[in-house]
Amino acid sequence: MSDINMDPTSSTTSIVADNNLPINLFTRTTSDAIPQSTYFLPSSWRRYQLSELINKVLQNNNDNDNNQGKKPVPFEFLINGEVLRGSLENWVKRNRGNDEETTIDIEYVRSTLPPKQVGKIEVEDWVSGLSLQRNGYILLSSYLSHLQILPLSTNASTSSALYTLPLPTSLGATSCTWVSPSSKESNVLLAAGGVDRLTHVFNLPSLSPDNNIGEQQPKEIYTLHGHTGPISSIIASKSGKELISGSWDTNLNFYILPDPEEEEPTTHQIESEPLSYLPGQNNKKRRKLEKQIYPDGKEPIEGLLDNDSTGLGGWRRIPDFQLKGHKDRIGGLVWDKLDNQKIWSASWDGSVRGWDLNSGINSVIRQGPFDKSALCIDQWESNGTLATGNMDRTICLWDTRQATSLISLTLPTNSPIPSLKTHPTSSFTLASATYSGLIQIWDIRSPKHSLFQISSSTSSSASTMKESERRKVTKNGKVLGERLLSLDWNGDLLVAGGEDGEVNIYNATGA
């Protein structure tokens, strides 16, 4: 064992008269590791003093020329999976009574900084889907039945959309995704799933509106049929040649999409069908929307087809094959980040399933409690662990590498989780959005409480606004609520939106 002999002038030695506790400090990050030993530290020490000690041992000091001026790093400390919130003495009394002799194993990790709001974009309806897949852009789907591409800017505003792509229905868009890989700059495909049971795939000749002239305008190029219920989730492969949709009808549909630069179809794969029996297909709101979208006065044709009373739409396509097995609605989908030939689905039936796309076989089934209706799913790329957000106010982690594993860890929340996103590089961090309007950042090594939680209603801009000045109804008469519906996180920036009719942008490194 070793004692820490600190300089008497150091601020961390003002409490050396306290009882000393045997502490074993360790980390899983090689670059932050200090010599393994048992340190006797004052019982009154808290996170700050422990963090200062580690930085001293690592020589993280701007004044240290030999260490090239490396800055001190703030650390968090975990004991038995719980973040140390107070002093060591308080933890011992709370967890060990008067036992001050048994060594305390403490893991230290680099602190996650609190998210900071850096921008806000007001939209005219509920936000149903968000994607940060392309650097510099936000892809947004809305219950106003359109897709929007917004520049990712802290100075963005309500008029900042580069594109607004209307769906040929007034029933609303439920989800969105970029289809083409981020390296593709022309004839970019993107898609939206709709309440109308269809997936609408659009083609953008260029991401720059100035380059789209004449006939080279964005348009819906494919209309994907095959579901009998609203679309809940859509995902695309890394190549951009395949798209999978999940629906309330419990099925997953797999589509192969021809590249419009190589072979645009010339025929439909399915006959058109009248869809006027669907709610919202023939009402005042839709007719008003059609007049806004088609100011040339083109008369709508009732019941026509391509799910579009204006006669416009994409080439109708049917699934190349279907994946069946779930007993209730599909909540979310994720393409396996370690195996391009595998996807994962989460359902309201409480199960997570893995699907082999080569054979179409349901190769993995993990059945949780039937009351754990899963609303969304994501996967850590570093280790393949899955995370689901559930209706029962929990986030569940699933380690599918174990042949008999079910739920390996549960994180308690205060509301159902419709959207979550794992950190792209960290193996321990994720962000979630709740129906109560909260964004929460989690470190799964401390599962009892989230590291941070923020609400758009208490953000810096909203908190300084008078109640009478806050927007409660949009210009088109949509009543705004507090529920968040979608969230995305690229590791540096986080965006979230929902019934509040806003896209809030945060700096959130989460490493």
3-class state of residue 106 by DSSP: strand
Q: What is the mean pLDDT of residues 476-482?
A: 76
E strands within 282-418?
A: 315-317, 321-323, 330-335, 342-347, 351-356, 361-367, 374-379, 386-390, 394-398, 407-412
Is the predicted pLDDT of residue 462 greater than 90, yes or no?
A: no
CA–CA separation, 178 vs 180, rounded Å?
6
Tokens representing residue 8 in the block: 């008497």
Report pTM: 0.81
**Tokens 């799910």 -> residue:** 307
Which sequence spans correspond to the domains of the chain? 2-110, 116-507
207-248 pLDDT per residue, tens: 877 766 556 788 999 999 999 999 999 999 999 999 999 999
Instruction: Assess contact for 290 and 300: CB atoms under 8 A.
Output: yes
Q: Which residue has better confidence, 1 or 196?
A: 196
Element (H, E) at 95: helix 88-96
What top-level class would CATH report for the domain 116-507? mainly beta
Report the CATH fold assignment for 2-110: Ubiquitin-like (UB roll) (3.10.20)
Tokens representing residue 60 in the block: 């993280």
Is the predicted pLDDT of residue 188 greater than 80, yes or no?
A: yes
Is the predicted pLDDT of residue 251 greater than 70, yes or no?
A: yes
Instruction: Assess contact for 228 and 314: CB atoms under 8 A.
Output: no
With cut-offs at 50, 70 and 90, classify the pLDDT of residue 263: confident
Q: How many CB atoms are closer than 10 A to CB 479?
A: 10
Q: Which of 170-184, 203-217, 261-275 has the highest mean pLDDT?
A: 170-184
Instruction: Assess contact for 334 and 378: CB atoms under 8 A.
Output: yes
Sheet holding 75-79, edge to edge: 2-3, 38-42, 20-26, 104-110, 75-79, 82-83
CA–CA separation, 345 vs 246, rounded Å?
8
E strands within 31-184?
A: 38-42, 75-79, 82-83, 104-110, 116-122, 127-131, 137-142, 146-151, 163-166, 173-178
3-class state of residue 229 by DSSP: coil
Is the predicted pLDDT of residue 435 greater than 90, yes or no?
A: yes
**Tokens 């890989």 -> residue:** 181
Is the predicted pLDDT of residue 304 greater than 90, yes or no?
A: no
CA–CA separation, 384 vs 400, rounded Å?
8
CA–CA separation, 220 vs 216, rounded Å?
12
From 69-83, 124-138, 152-166, 455-469, the region with the lowest mean pLDDT: 455-469
Tokens representing residue 61 in the block: 């000091």
